Structure 1
Amino acid sequence: MVIIGLYWTLLYRGVSLAIFTGVTAAVALALWAIGILGPVGFVVTAIVLGVPLAIFNIVPLRRALLTKRLYGVFRKILPEMGATEKEALEAGDVWWEAEMFRGRPDWNQLLDFKLTQLTDQEQAFLDNETEQLCAMIDDWQVNFELKDLPEDVWDYIRNNGFFAMLIPKEHGGLGFSAYGQSCVVAKIATRSLTAAVTVMVPNSLGPGELLTHYGTKEQQEKWLPGLASGKELPCFALTGVEVGSDATKMPDTGVVCKRTVDGKEVLGLSLSFNKRYITLAPVATMMGLAFKLKDPDGLLGDPDKIDYGITCALLATDTPGVKIGRRHFPGATFQNGPIQGDDVFVPIDSIIGGPEQAGKGWRMLVECLSAGRGISLPALSTATGKGMYGITSAYSRIRRQFGTEIGNFEGVQEGLGVIGGYAYILENVRNLTASGVDHCTPSVVTAMVKYHATEMMRTVINHSMDIHSGRGIIMGPRNYLAAAYQALPVAITVEGANIMTRSLMVFGQGAIRCHPFVYSEMEAAHNPDFDAGLAEFDRLLYAHIGYSVNRMVRGFTLGLTGARLASAPVDNEMAVYYKHMERFSAALAFSADLAMGTLGGALKLKESTSARLGDVLSHLYMASATLKGFEVNGGTAEDKVHATWAMEYHLHEIENALHEFVRNYPVKAVRPLLKLVALPRGRSFNGPTDDMNTALCDMMLGMKLDSAFGKRMTYDIYIGEGENDPTGRLMGAYNKLQEVDSFYSEFLRAAKHGEIEGESVEEQLASALDRQVLSAEQAEAIREYDRLRYEVLLTDDFSKEYLLNPLSDEAREAEGRPVDMRKAS
């Protein structure tokens, strides 16, 4: 038992092969010295254990006897890696997610990481320009009447730098951080998704970012000032009729050729393309274009190279041959449409980065797309989560049924708690991810966050609609839910459809990029120098074997002991969750290794299998963001309630993903080993309890916007002002309810038990005054609240004439809508 414990400890700690060999030799000598092993036993032990260990430790011998054969087989079975696949794998950086993938997270990396803070300029822009933009927008006007932003809103966006947040200050832009951009987009999204999408796209995957990172000095000087000032309005043409998630199969082409222009021979490109789903295309003045470049005549200088691959170029939308102007009609009415071109000729220096960047467009796109995923879509999702947190909890207090606030019903609280928990998760995930984008270009993180954030947004909106019931489905200026509900599929679909992101990208890219050995092993196998590749492969292979054995032992040990042997970097309520995350991290590392070892290249085709491992990695990352937020914000009472709910949710989802991974693993023979390591005691996390959910809902229903936690959850949220604004009307009533709450509840109780008389509120108030249940001031306050409450519950109705022609002056006047509104651009 002592020997077993010793070796278990060595494997658990992951000692080097040399130390393992030395300990084994010492154990054998000790057993011989004390007489447990006789001469024959000692010799047998030396042969059985000593010879293999000697082979493994003597590198030339190991390489000749073992590794050379394995290397030859590995080179044969490893599929060739295409240029675009290699670029996609290499694009971006590996960041904190790698620690969660590798089984022994260094928590100090997370705790020492500094979240980005808004600069004074960014805070001022959020408080002033962004606030003013939100105040200018009537979302009913945008989505139903104009199906576009009004001219004055377009002008304000252009003239105040909303399209130039990522452009450096030296080119006239605002030079905002990724986090600063995220906060601006989030605030706009709480007012209008159409406006938010309009602002976010030029600051995400678009000409501005591509020029900033890859453009030549001449291209930057030509285009960036116009983009910064709003004179130029950009779009980027990537997806087409046949091409969505698989952008590498685009049929659009650019052929290098020479043409005579103004009497001079010009080297350039003949572009033919058919694109769709291009945001801002109908109003754009310049466009980025992705296409496959061919040089059949060797005009770029390499006569042996014809196909260069995906390339990006910039051109004005009024270039002869470009067909633009018609619109798609997406769920949110932002400008979006198709672009076509046939034999459009542009100079060769239209290639972003110049001719030297020919064929390098895919890497540009993957890196910029990953950054966009980490800024824009998490911002939209977080805005929705936090917006619904405040709106739905306020409505749940104002709306009463069966004599009580609907927020008191457990059925309502089931959905309300999810809204609150998800909103807290989304805020912390967005803060960590946007801060990460400010330090590097994390590609795996942004893919997982895009998927899970938008799926959480979908759930939050659905629960909000359920709680609002009929109040949420009647369209009109009073409805603050319908536009977000209608536009929801946009976020699910754009920048990588969620199905593909989950099943192909998260683990498919994460397993190779985050693993400490796999990608290097693949590179060694592709090394044209056999001997050099063999030497590198030998070093990596045996380190990989030791790594995998260590994670197997750690995963089983931590799972069997309920993570009691794991470490935690803090001494507070969250310590136990750090320990369980280390346990699941080890289980993921071993499960991923076994999956890659037993399925090999076929793992790419087992999308459900890889998706479940991707879910484990995603929830480990999001849970770590929750823990980071808890520490940064001081572990307040509110944070404790929200973080506990979030961590119980994440660990439940991790266990479910591991359970389904094991239960459905394609190779049945290894299922018992997977279960033994990943879930040796079965599942123990069942998600937030009813008590946890009730505690969270109670906090939501009683939250004051001016509290420290309330300010943190609303600092980048727009709340309208006045009774004519949909959110202003709701929050005005909610604030009034908090003022009268102490005596309003007594008034309702007295009316229910017959202590005051009357059917109407006015009659009951009069009776309460007569019987001195209320003072005159209290009665007036309740009268005012009841008026506001009733206004909140009302829904819109319209004449047939207005619905048929909402821009008709007569119909608008009859509906009380502004007649002199500015028309759409």
Structure 2
Amino acid sequence: MSIFLPILALLVASAFAAYHRLRLAVWAALAACLLVACHLLGANHTTVIALAALTAAVAVLLLIPVIRKPLITAPALGFLRKALPPLSQTERIALETGSVGFEGDLFSGKPDWSKLLAYPKPQLSAEEQAFLDGPVEALCKQINDWEITHVHADLPPPLWDFIKQHKFFGMIIPKQYGGLGFSALAHHKVIQKLASISSVVSATVGVPNSLGPGELINHYGTQEQKDYYLPRLASGIEVPCFGLTGPFAGSDATSIPDFGIVCKGEWNGANVLGIKLTFDKRYITLAPVSTLIGLAFRMYDPDALLGDTRDIGITLALLPRETPGVEVGRRHFPLNSPFQNGPIHGREVFIPLSQLIGGVDMAGKGWNMLNECLAVGRSITLPSTASGGAKAGAVVTGAYARIRKQFGLSVGRFEGVEEALARIGGKAYAISALSQATAAAVDRGDVPSVPSAIAKYHCTNAGRDIAKDIMDVIGGKGIILGPRNFAGRSWQAAPIAITVEGANIMTRSLLIFGQGSILCHPYILKEMKAAQDPDGKAGLEALDGALYAHIGGAMSNATRSFWFGLTGSRLQVTAGDAYTRKFFRKLNRYAANLALLTDVSLGALGGRLKFKESLSGRLGDVLSHLYMMGAVLKRHHDEGCPEADKPLLAWAFHNSAYEIELALSQALRNFPIKPLGWLLWPVVFPWGRRAVAPGDRLSHRVASLLMNPNEARDRLAHGVFLTPGAHNPGGRINSYLTRAILAEPVERKFLKALKTKDIEALDFASQLDEGVREGWITQDERKQLEELRELTIDTISVDDFDAHELRAASYYDGHAQPGTRAVA
């Protein structure tokens, strides 16, 4: 015991200091005090002296800069310069244009949840709310999605006119230029509501307000460009599109082969200095109807007309559609969600330098500009679209599952259907919180490059999962297309959101963790910049501070990971109320796990980590679910911690906890350096994996929320279009729920009579006549049953057509040419 006591004392001092992230000097003093106490208690003298010497050596080595720098920092600097690959210009730009919000806390391993909860509650202004209640509601009432998707393959002219008249294209344009000047939150709410009734309309409105000429001109345009183009864009005189993607540059947008050569040419009758553009773009939303084209290309100056730089870099320009040489191709047809989309081409198209966005001063800075705008656009349009479809789908499918009966029972009462309803409700609750959180981050002034990637990937992925479950629940109602189908088009369109603005596979495996681990980590980017600093002395000084703190942080994260795993995350003080505190405690554990594995992965693999996409994807999943659950808990607290929402909150959290532990275990089992994975396993999972997927009792509670009128269901449905109407079958079905439930006792009584009484009538109307005549039901109850039958028929009915109605009219009008042209 006399030998082990000082060893135990030093371990306790080290663990205590690491857990609480005490300064090294405090650790040394604490260790010294405990070793002195061990000596006084009669511990082994030799052991005490040896441990005291070790403590002193570590303290001197790390605390005294003149010793630490040459012995630790300088060798580390040399190692990093050899091990780290140089950052490419595009990688450097991507890192420098993004900003870090609360996601940075997650990489620290010790997130301050009280800071997250202290962010102001996202709220609309009175003007923004009036726009949602007025023009947005009015637009939704005019939408006939079946005619848009099947009959016209486009918005009818009155919808186009309404959108332009009420400045839907000008939500992000400042009021001084004739726009609405709305917040990102309002932008999110508008797209969410439109998406709940038509993805075509939401895409049409969303694109001009995300990545497009409007946002780019507003941020970077010359004053002349702002004064001329922004009022025209806000009023719909100009319809914008933006050409970025091409046949040979999809997710790798920096490899665009489109080019522009600086030269002189004719413009409006004068010989001016400009650019001759050659480009081939595809998948360009609004291109077929656009009047103003934004274009990304690589700019060259071979004759040194602007300076000594030949390859100026990626540059952005504005091309009026009528510019000679511009060819807007025929339309693409995106999976029966026919928003306007198509290719654009041009060969040696001349424009003056004044058409560069921002003028000559912004030449070569296009990638910087795009990174900021991509992050903002990705934060809102696609997550909001997924949120709107998910929320509307959740409540309408819940109503359908209650009204639709099989074997004398609502289909939603079957446990297999309950499982699907729970997934629908829980995921809709999570992604609606996530999409709102990223919009709120934009309003706080962030350029949320990492959260935007998280929101884009997980909202669209979960949206596809929800669409699949909805189709399973409603069965035949979903697979027969027509005006009565509220889910089929969402199912068909789901892969579109998965694919655009960065394919989801690439977003998960390359962007979320790959960018997040560098941009959001408290020390990594500083160390990388120090290692690549050509001034050796400055690099040494910069690295010294970062590395010293990094070592302490890594030791703390290892300690916290093991302690939280050992204690089940129970013994800690954190934010939250009596109910949510347990969730924050678990998130603290997972944040420490993420930080630990990030440090180990970067330290052991270095530059090779960028090629370990499976590992990056799994660690990205951990980061994503941490961020998403932070958003869910934040919204729960913002809404006053309503008791009724707890099943939705619990389902979302337990699903994310299960996914986090699954990702962590897969990362460790498949770690590229096997022994490191084995060593890390007991630190991360001292008792093995403990999180389980949401159970049957919780799923039953979530499913019941969707199938019964209640405040939690109303909150989930808030912000989507559920006004009943001839062209809104989902709204009609949702409106039937209360009346269907009120009629259920009468229905059960009547069905019991049909089974137990000697009834001669066979058809429903005659059975009701006999029921009233025999006194089994009253006349008022008969009316209830008749109404229930009518609303049930509308709920479950599907459409049928004459053969000619399903033919593509343009194919038979005598003008269409056979065959199609493939676009590479």
Q: TM-score range by the shorter chain?
A: over 0.9
Partner of 2:13: 6
Q: Is the 8 A contact 1:373 1:495 kept in 2?
A: yes
Aligned partner of residue 116 in structure 2, secondary structure? helix
The separation in 2 between residues aligned to 1:543 and 1:736, in whole angstroms, is: 63
Partner of 2:718: 715
Partner of 2:775: 772
1:88-99 to 2 correspondences below 5 Å:
88-99=94-105
Q: Is the 8 A contact 2:302 2:310 kept in 1?
A: yes
The separation in 2 between residues aligned to 1:48 and 1:476, in whole angstroms, is: 78
Q: Is the 8 A contact 1:732 1:788 kept in 2?
A: no
Partner of 1:106: 112
Deviation at 1:723, TM superposition (A): 5.3
The separation in 1 between residues aligned to 2:551 and 2:83, in whole angstroms, is: 19
Q: Is the 8 A contact 2:721 2:731 kept in 1?
A: no
The separation in 2 between residues aligned to 1:262 and 1:198, in whole angstroms, is: 32
1:53-132 to 2 correspondences below 5 Å:
53-132=59-138
Q: Is the 8 A contact 2:708 2:737 kept in 1?
A: no
Partner of 1:814: none
Deviation at 1:25, TM superposition (A): 3.7
1:401-800 to 2 correspondences below 5 Å:
401-439=406-444, 440-704=446-710, 708-722=711-725, 725-754=728-757, 758-800=761-803
Say whether 1:330 aligns with 2:334. yes
Structure 2 residue identity aligned to 1:437? V
Structure 2 residue identity aligned to 1:373? R
Structure 2 residue identity aligned to 1:462? K
Partner of 2:820: none
Q: Is the 8 A contact 1:513 1:519 kept in 2?
A: yes
Go from structure 1 to structure 2 and tell me whether the alpha carbon gap of 1:807 and 1:777 turns closer, same or farther (over 3 Å shift). Answer: farther
Q: Which of residues 320, 340, 351 in structure 2 aligns to 1:316?
A: 320
Q: Is the 8 A contact 2:454 2:624 kept in 1?
A: yes
Deviation at 1:809, TM superposition (A): 13
Deviation at 1:79, TM superposition (A): 1.2
Partner of 1:158: 164
Q: Which of residues 244, 267, 286 in structure 1 aligns to 2:292?
A: 286
Q: Is the 8 A contact 1:190 1:384 kept in 2?
A: yes
Go from structure 1 to structure 2 and tell me whether the alpha carbon gap of 1:752 and 1:382 turns closer, same or farther (over 3 Å shift). Answer: farther
Go from structure 1 to structure 2 and tell me whether the alpha carbon gap of 1:48 and 1:709 turns closer, same or farther (over 3 Å shift). Answer: closer
Deviation at 1:635, TM superposition (A): 2.3
Q: Is the 8 A contact 2:192 2:719 kept in 1?
A: yes
Q: What are the Cα deviations for residues 529-549 of structure 1, in whole angstroms up to 9, with x where unaligned?
A: 101111111121121011000
Go from structure 1 to structure 2 and tell me whether the alpha carbon gap of 1:260 and 1:403 turns closer, same or farther (over 3 Å shift). Answer: closer
Q: What are the Cα deviations for residues 277-299 of structure 1, in whole angstroms up to 9, with x where unaligned?
A: 00000110001111111122222
Q: Is the 8 A contact 2:239 2:289 kept in 1?
A: yes
The separation in 1 between residues aligned to 2:422 and 2:212, in whole angstroms, is: 38
Q: Is the 8 A contact 2:706 2:713 kept in 1?
A: no
Partner of 1:24: 31
The separation in 1 between residues aligned to 2:12 and 2:47, in whole angstroms, is: 22
Q: What are the Cα deviations for residues 218-244 of structure 1, in whole angstroms up to 9, with x where unaligned?
A: 110110000011100000000000111
The separation in 2 between residues aligned to 1:735 and 1:100, in whole angstroms, is: 44
The separation in 2 between residues aligned to 1:259 and 1:574, in whole angstroms, is: 66
Q: Which of residues 333, 343, 347 in structure 1 aligns to 2:352?
A: 347
Deviation at 1:710, TM superposition (A): 3.8
Structure 1 residue identity aligned to 2:490? A
Q: Mean Cα displacement is larger for which, 347-356 or 197-206?
A: 347-356
Deviation at 1:683, TM superposition (A): 1.3
Aligned partner of residue 718 in structure 1, secondary structure? coil
Aligned partner of residue 717 in structure 1, secondary structure? coil
Say whether 1:804 aligns with 2:811. no
The separation in 1 between residues aligned to 2:721 and 2:42, in whole angstroms, is: 80
Q: Mean Cα displacement is larger for which, 333-342 or 466-475?
A: 466-475
Partner of 2:150: 144
Go from structure 1 to structure 2 and tell me whether the alpha carbon gap of 1:153 and 1:262 turns closer, same or farther (over 3 Å shift). Answer: closer
Deviation at 1:399, TM superposition (A): 1.2
Q: Is the 8 A contact 1:243 1:249 kept in 2?
A: yes
The separation in 1 between residues aligned to 2:628 and 2:727, in whole angstroms, is: 39
Instruction: Count matched residues.
Output: 804
The separation in 1 between residues aligned to 2:487 and 2:789, in whole angstroms, is: 23
The separation in 2 between residues aligned to 1:167 and 1:180, in whole angstroms, is: 13
Deviation at 1:774, TM superposition (A): 2.3
Q: What are the Cα deviations for residues 378-406 of structure 1, in whole angstroms up to 9, with x where unaligned?
A: 11111111111111111111211111111
Q: What are the Cα deviations for residues 54-94 of structure 1, in whole angstroms up to 9, with x where unaligned?
A: 12221012212232122122112221111111011122211
Aligned partner of residue 495 in structure 1, secondary structure? coil
Go from structure 1 to structure 2 and tell me whether the alpha carbon gap of 1:600 and 1:652 turns closer, same or farther (over 3 Å shift). Answer: same
Go from structure 1 to structure 2 and tell me whether the alpha carbon gap of 1:208 and 1:752 turns closer, same or farther (over 3 Å shift). Answer: farther
Aligned partner of residue 201 in structure 1, secondary structure? helix
The separation in 1 between residues aligned to 2:466 and 2:760, in whole angstroms, is: 41
Q: Which runs of 5+ in 1 are unaligned?
A: 811-825
Deviation at 1:414, TM superposition (A): 1.1
Aligned partner of residue 254 in structure 1, secondary structure? strand
Deviation at 1:722, TM superposition (A): 3.9
Q: Is the 8 A contact 1:314 1:350 kept in 2?
A: yes
Q: Is the 8 A contact 1:375 1:434 kept in 2?
A: yes
Structure 1 residue identity aligned to 2:380? I
% identical equivalent positions = 43
Q: Mean Cα displacement is larger for which, 751-760 or 571-580?
A: 751-760
Q: Is the 8 A contact 1:314 1:351 kept in 2?
A: yes
Structure 2 residue identity aligned to 1:21? A
Q: Is the 8 A contact 1:751 1:757 kept in 2?
A: no
The separation in 2 between residues aligned to 1:752 and 1:346, in whole angstroms, is: 81
The separation in 1 between residues aligned to 2:428 and 2:269, in whole angstroms, is: 62
Structure 2 residue identity aligned to 1:379? S
Q: Is the 8 A contact 2:10 2:35 kept in 1?
A: no
Partner of 1:816: none
Deviation at 1:494, TM superposition (A): 0.7
Structure 2 residue identity aligned to 1:467? V
Deviation at 1:799, TM superposition (A): 1.3
The separation in 2 between residues aligned to 1:393 and 1:809, in whole angstroms, is: 41
Go from structure 1 to structure 2 and tell me whether the alpha carbon gap of 1:725 and 1:534 turns closer, same or farther (over 3 Å shift). Answer: closer
Deviation at 1:759, TM superposition (A): 3.1
Q: Is the 8 A contact 2:292 2:320 kept in 1?
A: yes
Structure 2 residue identity aligned to 1:688? P
Q: Is the 8 A contact 1:267 1:348 kept in 2?
A: yes
Q: Mean Cα displacement is larger for which, 623-632 or 607-616?
A: 623-632
Q: Is the 8 A contact 1:720 1:726 kept in 2?
A: no
Aligned partner of residue 577 in structure 2, secondary structure? coil
The separation in 1 between residues aligned to 2:419 and 2:760, in whole angstroms, is: 36
Structure 2 residue identity aligned to 1:563? S
Deviation at 1:593, TM superposition (A): 0.5
Go from structure 1 to structure 2 and tell me whether the alpha carbon gap of 1:212 and 1:694 turns closer, same or farther (over 3 Å shift). Answer: same
Structure 2 residue identity aligned to 1:508? G
Aligned partner of residue 736 in structure 2, secondary structure? helix
Question: Under a length normalisation based on structure 2, what TM-score does the superposition of the two structures give?
Answer: 0.94
Go from structure 1 to structure 2 and tell me whether the alpha carbon gap of 1:754 and 1:628 turns closer, same or farther (over 3 Å shift). Answer: farther
Go from structure 1 to structure 2 and tell me whether the alpha carbon gap of 1:227 and 1:42 turns closer, same or farther (over 3 Å shift). Answer: same
Deviation at 1:459, TM superposition (A): 0.6
Deviation at 1:564, TM superposition (A): 1.2
Partner of 2:816: none
The separation in 2 between residues aligned to 1:35 and 1:674, in whole angstroms, is: 36
